[in-house]
Amino acid sequence: MMVDNSQLKKEMIMQKFTFRVDVLSDSDVDVESVRRTLIESVHGVGQYSAVTATGSESLTDQGLKVFAKRVLGISLAAPKTKAPKAKVEVSETVEA
């Protein structure tokens, strides 16, 4: 039986969807539990799926603020104090 390679190539074209999940916590996270939960949630959505943990990193206070602003669109910075408004007083008027 002869297989037409052009037909086979058309059938094997798939789209790959990649999602990024960031979890921030001030305590340990059970990475394997999160991975299993994600695997279960995508089961049956596509023909193939894989969920892998890519690592972790410690964020400084500044790093957390940058992450929140860039990724979440929120500011964790302390509100800036407003400078007092200068009051303008007219002490003398001059007539022309």
pLDDT of residue 32: 94
pLDDT digits (tens, 9 = 90+) for 29-79: 999 999 999 999 999 898 889 999 998 999 999 999 999 999 999 999 888
- Please state, in angstroms and rounded to a whole number, the distance separating the CA atoms of residues 59 and 62: 8
- Please state, in angstroms and rounded to a whole number, the distance separating the CA atoms of residues 68 and 77: 10
Q: Which residues contact 79 (CB under 8 A, 6 or more apart)?
A: none
Model confidence pTM above 0.85: no
pLDDT of residue 6: 62
What are the structure tokens assigned to 45, written together?
């959505």
Cβ-based neighbour number of residue 51 at 10 Å: 15
